[in-house]
Chains A and B, each alone.
Chain A
Amino acid sequence: MSLEVVVAAALFAGVLFYAVLGGADFGSGFYDLTAGGSRSGARIRRQVDHSIGPVWEANHVWLIYVLVVWWTAFPSAYEPVMRTLIVPLFLAVGGIVLRGSAFAFRKYAESLALARFFGVVFAVSSVITPFFLGAVAGAIASGRVPAEGRGDLWASWLNPTSVIGGLVAIGTCAFLAGVFLVADATRGPDADLAASLRRRVLAVGIGTGAIVLAGLIPLHDDAPTLWYGLTHRALPLVIASAVLGAATLVLLWVRRPGIARFTAVGAVAAVVSGWGMGQYPWFLVDEITITDAAGATATLEALLVAVGLAAALVGPSLGYLLHTAQKWSAEDAH
């Protein structure tokens, strides 16, 4: 593999981690939003609070990792995206701001009314934000970001592929989060909570699976390059995602949410890598390849030092955080 491709793989690994870990955080907003009134929904909301509280800030840094590696390693593919897709990106960052601050504010809100207000802001922005990020991916994957000049401000991200990308993002986030929440709740004392979450997650999973499959059809005409990749090189990943997704549903159905967490992560990872593999070797589909987009060699090498350090330092610490958070959750359940 060439240096450029190694760095691109490191960048894409960040995308994957963000999709899985950040996605589970975003998706929890869906259950928060649909939990019901402030009394009946209190248990789900508290579960959400407990589940993402210690980890959301760390999960969120993946996005920053992706941005900085992108502009450092592939500056000429970064600038066009920023020019063309300014609207969805700005909306996404707005959503991130609202959800992060509202989540922190809700926790320490004094009155129920205030907590409810911050809760709605948190939940709505959590649900919506992945749409814009998915739409950005769809715009890139369907070749709507020109290397020179600027693509259409609106049509570049309001088109079949982008809309599908956005909906798939919302669905997969909600699905992932749901599986994790069910697993957490099942270990807790509250069987009703676990049961009601499980029903919701099954519905979300079926809906998401339907969107992913139905969404493939328009790609044939709207994003031919991606379609070709998905039906050739990336076909095993597409199949894997379908199988793992179905397995997750089955595992939930037979009440094995602990194992379902792994298949759910696998399914989402397969969908996201399918997209990456499907558009390889393009960075911006039909416009710039990974090799053409890469910046100076010295910078790519230096960046690998940073990535290596990150793997050595962040890897164990993040593992420790996730592990500890799980342990606390188990202790508190007893």
Chain B
Amino acid sequence: MPLLDTVVGSLDVHASLTALTSLTADASSTADPAGLLPARQQMALSLGWHIILACFGVAFPTIILAMHWRGVYREDADAMRLARRWSKVSAVLFAIGAVSGTVLSFEMGLLWPGLMGTFGDVLGLPFAFEGLAFFLEAIFIGLYLYGWDRMKPKVHLLMLVPMAITGVVGTFCVLAVNAWMNEPTGFDIVDGEVTNIQPWAAFFNDRVWLQFGHMWVATFMVAGFCIAAVYAVGMLKGRRDRHHRLGFIVPFVFASVAAISQPVVGHFLGAELAEIQPSKLAAMELATTSESPSPMTLGGYVNSDGEKVGAIEIPYLGSIIAMESLSEPVPSLDEFAEEDLPPVNLTHWSFQIMIGLGMLLMGLALIFWFARWRKWDLLDADRATSRWFLRIMAFSGIAAIAAMETGWITTEVGRQPWIVYGVMRTPEAAGDNSGLWWLYWITVVVYTLMTIGAIVVLRSMAKRWRRGDESLPSPYGPELETGSATDAAQEPAR
């Protein structure tokens, strides 16, 4: 089950992610408050976990809508069955998405009291609208999940529309907060006091539009490739029916559009960085010294003497891509004081991994549609080339998740040492609490168990579906109700 492997895979990503962040933060930890390091680790773990579920929360309703629509309006039984199954999967994913999101809203305050105390009334507004969006989302989740066989099919289908919209609005709102942290606006600082607060300006800051666009597209890559991967594996295992083809192609269409547009959006996102966060760009590009024109640096790292080692350099490309110029140099690390630089190697590597995986996934989408145009069936698992395609597809979900995670690491680690870029350093926001380590380890355990629980439950659902148990009776309900072919009838509501 690649979807499940994907979840496992993300855990690994996280293990290495936390290992990396702990390495990078060591250097500066002497005078830092005791709560800083555990708070960073905790933030990375819980955000990195939530964001995977969030992707499903944003994109899955739209993908189910497409499938369910087909089922209702074209009277396609395969599509109907897929939509119904997906809605059960989404019930599990949405539940853990919602609880892990709640953890985050606590953590913003628990871990970063200095941030919320000082800037709460600047950055709070988007959070309030986010809460509003999630409210509506949760309401319509309840209606959709329990509405099967109880609402008129055409009305029931429409419950997905507000879910799809509110997921997008919610994403915009949280990204407004993150974009504000990257390019703070909407307030003045006079004598160390935050004054002249303009909450709407902070909400609709200049950076949010592109950041949101990039993240929104990413959600469709993550959800689309993960779901398509499940059916790719099924086809590899010899299940070649229409059910599997349909289950593959619908999410794959979404994933393809997303994968092909993502590099374009990403390029525009990066193009602004030279202006607003030059130190981040320098770290991403591993530009140790100013060069005109700047090369593009592939791989490599900066050693303890500040020298670039082991990199492949492609002349001109750095200036062309990052600065959209043939000669203008990329900002370089030596222009900044040591204490103003982010962890360079981590930023550089995560950026490059994101790009590499992004190009790979775009290539995968292009190959499929090209082949289809030439009438080669890449889903015919009897052919060797198709099998290769499906094998690669089986990993596409993990790859999309990894691209999204590394993208976030680039953004978040590259923003260091600032929590609010140029205004507040991360140590100033942390609490003085060494006990946070305890909380961190408890969180690790709970999240690990939650991951395992989700895997076990989703796996068992798939197993029972393959066996033909469409209705998945709850083990608590000894079949009192009779004659109900679907489990919806066994789940009366309040």
Main secondary structure of the interface of A (DSSP, over half): helix
The verdict on A199 contacting chain B, using a C-beta distance below 8 Å, is: no
Alpha-carbon distance between A309 and B125 when the two chains are bound, in angstroms = 13
CB of B116 within 8 A of CB of A71, answer yes
Q: Counting CB contacts under 8 A, is B94 at the interface?
A: yes
Check B278 for interface membership: any CB of A closer than 8 A.
no
Cα distance A332–B197 in the bound complex, in angstroms = 53
Contacts A55-B142, A102-B453, A314-B136 aside, 9 further interface pairs with beta carbons under 8 A come to: A57-B138, A67-B105, A96-B99, A96-B102, A101-B450, A295-B120, A295-B121, A317-B140, A322-B494
Q: A114-B456, A314-B132 are in contact. Are A78 and B492 (CB under 8 A)?
A: no
The minimal Cβ–Cβ distance linking B439 to chain A, given in whole angstroms, is 5
How extensive is the interface on chain B, given as a class?
A: 35 or more
A313 at the interface (CB under 8 A from B): yes
User: Are the C-beta atoms of B128 and A306 separated by less than 8 Å?
Assistant: yes
Q: Which 7 A-B pairs have the closest CB atoms?
A: A72-B124, A295-B121, A75-B120, A79-B117, A332-B492, A104-B95, A110-B460
Chain B proximity mask over A318-329: 1 for CB below 8 Å, otherwise 0? 101110111011
Stretch of A46-54, A162-170, A208-216, A272-280 that contacts chain B: A46-54
- Interchain CB contact under 8 A, B453 and A105: yes
Q: Within residues 448 to 479 of chain B, which ones have a CB less than 8 A from any CB in chain A?
A: 450, 453-454, 456-457, 460-461, 463-464, 472, 474-478
Q: Is the CB of A224 closer than 8 A to any CB of chain B?
A: no
Chain A interface (Cβ within 8 Å of chain B)? 38-39, 42, 45-46, 49-55, 57-58, 60-61, 63-65, 67-69, 71-76, 78-79, 82-83, 86, 89-90, 93-94, 96-98, 100-112, 114-115, 118-119, 153, 180, 184, 295-296, 298-299, 302-303, 306-307, 309-310, 313-314, 317-318, 320-322, 324-326, 328-329, 331-333
Q: Quick one: given A310-B132, A321-B142, are A329 and B494 in contact (CB under 8 Å)?
A: yes
Known contacts being A49-B474, A72-B127, A325-B493, is A93 close to B142, with CB within 8 Å? no
Listed residue (A54, A69, A100) with the most chain B CB atoms within 10 angstroms of its CB: A54
Say yes or no: is B293 at the interface (Cβ < 8 Å to chain A).
no
Task: Establish whether residues B136 and A313, one from each chain, have CB atoms under 8 Å apart when the complex forms.
Answer: yes
How far, in whole Å, are A78 and B141 apart by their CA atoms in the complex?
Answer: 31
Chain A residues contacting B464 (CB-CB under 8 Å) are 110
Residues from chain B with Cβ under 8 Å of A90 in the complex: 106, 110, 439
Does B91 interact with chain A (Cβ within 8 Å)?
A: yes
Q: Which residue of A lies closest to B202 (CB)?
A: A299
Complex contacts, A55 vs chain B, CB 8 Å: 142, 493-494
Contact of B476 among A49, A58, A184, A317 (CB under 8 A): A49
Q: Which of A38, A54, A76, A94 contacts B146 (CB 8 A)?
A: A54
Q: Mark B92-110, 1 if CB is under 8 A from A, else 0.
A: 1011101111110110111
Q: Give which listed residue, B99, B106, B474, B489, contacts A107 with CB less than 8 A.
A: B474
Contact of A296 among B121, B130, B446 (CB under 8 A): B121
CB interface residues, B 342-383, toward A, < 8 Å? none
A60 partner residues in chain B, CB cutoff 8 A: 98, 102, 138
State the CA gap A78–B477 with chains docked (Å): 44
- Which residues of B lie under 8 Å from residue A114 when comparing CB positions? 456, 460, 475
Interchain CB contact under 8 A, B124 and A303: yes
Are A299 and B199 in touch, CB under 8 angstroms?
yes
A75 CB contacts on chain B under 8 angstroms: 116-121, 124
Query: What's the least CB distance linking B256 to chain A, in Å?
Result: 30
Q: Which of B126-167 contact A (CB under 8 A)?
A: 127-132, 134-136, 138-143, 145-147, 150, 162
Whether the pair B116, A78 counts as a contact (CB closer than 8 A) is yes
A310 and B133 alpha carbons, distance in the complex (Å): 9
From B92, B122, B135, give the contact of A61 (CB < 8 A): B135
Do B102 and A63 have beta carbons less than 8 Å apart?
yes
Chain B neighbourhood of A57, CB < 8 A: 94-95, 98, 138, 141-142
Q: Is B113 an interface residue (CB 8 A)?
A: yes
Query: Which residues of B have CB within 8 Å of A53?
Result: 142, 146, 491, 493-494
Contact in complex: A83, B113 (CB < 8 Å):
yes
**Interchain nearest-CB distance for B373 vs A (Å):** 40
Q: Give the CA-CA distance A4 to B376 in the complex, in Å.
A: 67
Question: Is A328's CB under 8 angstroms from B106's CB?
Answer: no
Residues of B within 8 A of A93 (CB): 102-103, 106
- Please measure, in the bound complex, the distance between the C-alpha atom of A105 and the C-alpha atom of B147, giving whole angstroms: 20
Complex-state Cα separation, A46 to B480, whole angstroms: 11
Query: Would A46 and B474 count as touching, CB distance under 8 A?
Result: yes
Q: Kindly identify which residue among A49, A72, A105, A317 contacts B139, using a CB–CB cutoff of 8 Å.
A: A317
- B472 and A108 contact, CB distance less than 8 A: yes
* Contact between B124 and A73, CB atoms less than 8 A apart: yes
Q: State which residues 406-452 of B face A: CB under 8 Å.
A: 431, 433, 435, 439, 442, 446, 450
A329–chain B nearest beta-carbon distance, Å: 5
Residues in chain B near residue A89, CB distance under 8 A: 106, 110
In Å, the complex CA distance between A114 and B478 comes to 16
Beta-carbon contact of B476 and A115 below 8 Å: yes
Q: Can you report 27 A-B residue pairs in the complex whose CB atoms are below 8 A from each other?
A: A42-B478, A54-B143, A57-B98, A64-B102, A67-B105, A71-B127, A72-B121, A72-B124, A72-B125, A78-B120, A82-B110, A86-B431, A100-B102, A103-B95, A105-B453, A105-B454, A106-B474, A106-B476, A108-B474, A114-B475, A295-B121, A299-B199, A309-B132, A320-B143, A321-B139, A329-B494, A331-B492
Do A299 and B124 touch across chains, with their CB atoms under 8 A apart?
A: yes
Whether the Cβ atoms of A61 and B131 lie closer than 8 Å is yes
A-chain residues with CB within 8 Å of residue B135 when the two chains form the complex? 58, 61, 65, 310, 314, 318
Which residue, B114, B135, B197, has most C-beta atoms of chain A within 10 A?
B135
Known: A57-B138, A303-B124. A100 touches B98 (CB 8 A): yes
Contact B492 A329 (CB under 8 A): yes
Q: B486 interface residue, CB < 8 Å from A?
A: no
B95, A101: Cβ atoms under 8 Å? yes
Asked whether B198 is an interface residue with its Cβ less than 8 Å from the other chain, the reply is yes
Give Cα distance in the complex from A54 to B143, angstroms: 7
A114–B128 CA distance with the chains assembled, in angstroms: 38
In the assembled complex, the Cα of A286 lies from the Cα of B102 at a distance in Å of: 30
* Chain B residues whose C-beta falls within 8 Å of the C-beta of A326 in the assembled complex: 493-494
B125: nearest residue on chain A (CB-CB)?
A302
Cβ distance A215 to chain B, nearest Cβ, rounded Å? 27
Note all chain A residues with C-beta closer than 8 A to B457: 104-105, 108-110
**What distance in Å separates the Cβ of A210 from its nearest Cβ neighbour in chain B?**
29
Assembled-state Cα–Cα distance A20/B130 (Å) = 23
Give min CB distance, B190 to chain A, whole Å.
13
Q: Judge whether A64 and B134 touch: CB under 8 Å.
A: yes
Complex: A60 Cα to B363 Cα, angstroms:
42
B476 to A302, Cβ gap below 8 A? Answer: no
* In the assembled complex, B200 has its CB within 8 A of some CB on chain A: yes
> What residues on B are CB-neighbors of A49 within 8 Å?
474, 476, 491
User: How far does the Cβ of B490 sit from chain A's closest Cβ, in whole Å?
Assistant: 8
